[in-house]
Amino acid sequence: MGDRSADRAAILDLAGAMEEAWRRGDAAGFAAPFTDDASFVAWNGAHGYGRQAIEDAHRSLFAGPLAGSRMELVGQDTGSRTPASLRFVRPDVAIMVTVGAVTLAGQHDADHQAVQTFVLTSDHQRWQVAAFHNTRRQPE
């Protein structure tokens, strides 16, 4: 399948842009990497379709319970840029599994971790998130 390093870097950059938009409380920036018809499943089972619905839901969250929070999407350790898994199922489709968490404002550490699954598509100019599923890890 050849060298996928540029594609891997672009996908990790996309995840980093989502993290940065979250930290700014920027709902439009957070939703920007999603396709127009993306599917989004939140940790609590809430499900939405489309970039606009994702933006609208996050605007409310950033103005309310998640105001001032930060999110780690990629890596089990803070600062890690290595997803649990990133594989290309076709040249224009990738599946990325990450371990991360949201840390609320005023907290130093997250009180839980979650596993996120991204289905990403490429139009050969940029990668976008076509589907996202977030599952909170349960205590063992």
| pTM (whole model) above 0.85 | yes
From first to last of its 140 residues, the chain has per-residue pLDDT tens of 457 999 999 999 999 999 999 999 999 999 999 999 999 999 889 999 999 999 999 999 999 999 999 998 866 444 556 788 999 999 999 999 998 889 999 998 887 789 999 999 999 899 999 999 999 987 77
Pick the CATH number of 5-136 from 1.10.3720.10, 3.10.450.50, 3.30.470.10, 3.40.50.300: 3.10.450.50
106 Cβ contact partners less than 8 Å away, ≥ 6 residues apart: 68
SS3 111: coil
